[in-house]
Amino acid sequence: RQEQFRALRGLPSESKDGISVDLQMNAGLLVDLPQLDECGAQGIGLFRTELQFMIASTMPKIEEQESFYRSVLRQAGDHPVTFRTLDVGGDKVVPFFRSAEEENPALGWRALRLSLDRPALLRTQFRALLRAAAGAELKLMVPMVTEVNELRAAKALLKKEVNRLSRFGYTLPKRLQFGAMLEVPNLMWQLDELLQEVDFLSVGSNDLFQFVMAADRGNARVSNRFDPLSRPFLRLLRQVVEAADRTRTPLTLCGELAGRPLSAMALIGLGFRSISMTPAAIGPVKAMLLSLDAKQLQSHLLAALDQPDSGQTIRSLLTEFADQN
Ligand code: PEP
Ligand code: MG
C-alpha cells in the first residue's frame, strides 16, 4: 500500500470533481523534513517549535533557535512553513520550565498565556524566526488564543521585533503572515473580531475537541467516548468555515482529525480547502480525495447538519457516502 500511495505523490491534489485541497504536513524536528518530498505534502501546515525545547536540557539560545529555523526553511525549499510559537504546558512538558504544580494543566498556565507572561521568551523567538527568514516568506501563528486581546498583544510584540531589526539594519522577511490557532471555544464568539486581526486561521481540533467536550485528550476513557464526527462538533466547524469564507481569510485545520480519511472527507464536505496532518496520513487522505465527489458530499453533509439529531449519525452517513464512492 505504501507503494500505491507513493505513486499518488505527483498527482494534483484535487477531488474527482476538480476541487483542489491543500494537503500539508505537521512537523517539529529536522528529521521530519525529508518527509515533505516522500509524502508529497504541499507544505508544513504546523511546525511545532516546542519540540526543540522539549528535547533540550537547557533553554535553546537565540542563535540555536535561529539556526534551527533557518535549517527548517532551507530544507523546506519552496514549500511554505507555518511556525507555531511555543506551546508548552498541558501535555507538552519542557523540563527546564519549572511551573508550579497545577491541578488542571490543560486549562492552566500554558502556550500563549505563558508566552505573554514571559514576553522576553516570546520576543526572542520572534527575533530568531524573523532573522532566520530574512528575505523569505514567514508564516507565524500563536497557540491557545483565548481572547482576541491576547492575539493583539502578541502582534504588538512581533511588531516591536520587526521595528527593532529594521532599526539595526537587518533584512526582514519579504512577506510576513500572522495567524491564530482556534483551540479554545471562547473564540467562537469573537470570531469576527479575530478575523479582522489575522492573515489566516488554523483550527487545532485536538484541543478544540477536548475543550468543547470537556474530555481530556490524553485520557482514552473519556476522549473516545465522544465523536468528533457528530452534529454539534461539525456544526461548530461549519460556522468557522462560514466566518472565514465571509472575510476571505485562509483557513486550515491541523489536528488529528485531518489525518483520518473519513474525517478528512468530512472536513472537505464542510468546506475546508486546506488541512495539515501527520506525514504518514497524506497518502491515504490523498487517495480518498482523488476519488471524492466533493460538491455532492458537501450538499449531503450540510443538509444533514441542518436536520435535527434523529436516528442516523453523521458518521454513518459519511461511511455510506465513502462506500458508494
Ligand atoms: C491541536 O490541538 O489540534 C493541535 C494541532 O496542536 P497540538 O496537538 O500540538 O496541541
Ligand atoms: Mg493544541
Cell numbers for 26:
505537521
- Extended strands (E) in 94-213: 137-142, 175-182, 200-203
- What was the pLDDT predicted at 101? 84
Q: At what angle do helices 62-76 and 119-132 cross, to 10 degrees?
A: 40
Output the pTM of the full model: 0.97
Q: Please state the atom number of ligand 1 nearest to the C-alpha of residue 46.
A: 5
3-state secondary structure of 85: coil
What distance, in Å, lies between the first and last C-alpha atoms of the chain?
19
Pocket test for ligand 1, best of 83, 183, 211 (most atoms within 8 A of CB): 183
Q: DSSP states of 295-324 as a string?
A: HHHHHHHHHHHHS---SS-HHHHHHHHHHH
301 and 269 Cβ atoms separated by less than 8 Å = yes
- What was the pLDDT predicted at 265? 98
Average pLDDT per block of 10 residues along the chain, 325 residues long: 86 97 98 95 97 92 98 98 93 76 90 95 98 98 98 98 98 98 98 98 98 95 94 97 98 97 98 98 97 98 91 91 90
3-state secondary structure 28-72: CCHHHCCHHHHHCCCCEEEEECHHHHHCCCCCCCHHHHHHHHHHH
Distance 180 CA to ligand 1 centre (A): 12
The one-letter amino acid code at 43 reads: G
159 and 116 Cβ atoms separated by less than 8 Å = no
34 and 52 Cβ atoms separated by less than 8 Å = no
Which residue CA neighbors atom 4 of ligand 1 most closely? 204
The distance of Cα 114 from the centroid of its chain, to the nearest Å, equals 19
- What was the pLDDT predicted at 299? 97
